[in-house]
Amino acid sequence: MPGTYQHSFTDEGITALAEGCPELKAVDLGRSPCITDAGVAKLARSCSGLIDLRLSHARITDTGLRKLGKHAKSLRTLMLVGSGRVGNRGISAIARGCNALQHLVVDYTHDVIEEGMKDLATYCPRLRLLHISTSDAGVAHLKSCYQLKELVVTEGCELSDEGLGQLVKNCTSLQTLGLTDCPDITDKGINMLTNLRDLRKLLLSGCCDGVSAEGICSLRVHVPQLDIDTSNLEVDSDSMPNPTHPIARRQQGSSHSKYSKQSSRSKTSTRSTHKTKHESAPVIIVA
């Protein structure tokens, strides 16, 4: 039976859990700052049938992902929120070892994921949801991910109009697209999204100062069924249109704060103190 706990798990706790419940299928430990590679390695070895693993702010590195890729080959969902210690080698290990993977969320990485994207596209053809920091070169590899429905490009990315063009060309089934801190994307790239006929939701957040209010409104006009969320978009109030402009009315409550250039690291530390939509209280499910 699923259980809910109010305290954070440790490596010792997850080891005891794995040894006592080797048939575990899904583990959601919520905010787990005390979990390290050692705990994840034990879970992967003891619970080889694991299909769903969700951790928040755990101290997981590429070493832990290599253990998951080696032992948890049935894994379909992996969500690592706010970790920041994962890179290309870890993503590649997961892709090569967990070919059934469908949902991958790694919102903070210590480098821009490019080679890892190539392996995800090659070894995980059933990938449907991906939240990751990548680049134009990384996005270009997604041409074989025909089932990808949701892509959120997270902080630290190096995505420009060129990469967005590749995305539009290759990921024609995309329904949700999120762009976070993409200053090299302009109205030209946003306009390309009109070619994604299945796109239903666009999320713009952080610094996207190459995108104007006029560009967003033009996209709304050409794709009226598209839900565009700009509530977390950092904007310079000098660039805002007059108060009668549609986007100005939508952002009226938040347009007083001007865009201030912060490093990705400082923004990461600030945001990591708040619970994200992927976080939850610990839940353990035994088949």
pLDDT of residue 223: 93
Domain ranges of the chain: 1-78+279-287, 109-271
Put simply, whether the predicted model's pTM sits higher than 0.85 gets the answer no
CATH architecture, domain 109-271 = Alpha-Beta Horseshoe (3.80)
Q: Pull the structure tokens for residue 141.
A: 């590899």
Fold agreement (1-78+279-287, 109-271): yes
Contact between 179 and 135 under an 8 Å Cβ cutoff? The reply is: no
Question: Which residues pair with residue 26 across a beta bridge?
Answer: 52, 285
Give φ, ψ of 60 to 5 degrees: -95, 135
Block residue for tokens 């069924």? 225
Rg (CA), the chain: 20
* Pairing verdict, β 150-153 and 129-132: parallel
First to last CA, the chain: 9
pLDDT of residue 65: 97
Angstrom distance (rounded) from CA 212 to CA 218: 10
Give φ, ψ of 52 to 5 degrees: -145, 120
Per-residue pLDDT of the chain (287 residues; tens, 9 = 90+): 444 444 578 999 999 999 999 999 999 988 999 999 999 999 999 999 999 999 999 999 999 999 999 999 999 999 999 888 999 999 999 999 999 999 999 988 888 999 999 999 999 999 999 999 999 999 999 988 989 999 999 988 999 999 999 999 999 999 999 999 999 999 999 999 999 999 999 999 988 889 999 999 999 999 999 999 998 887 554 444 443 444 444 443 333 333 333 334 334 433 433 344 555 555 565 44
CATH assignment, 1-78+279-287: 3.80.10.10
The CA–CA distances, whole Å, from 143 to 174, 181, 208 equal 12, 23, 25
Angstrom distance (rounded) from CA 118 to CA 115: 5
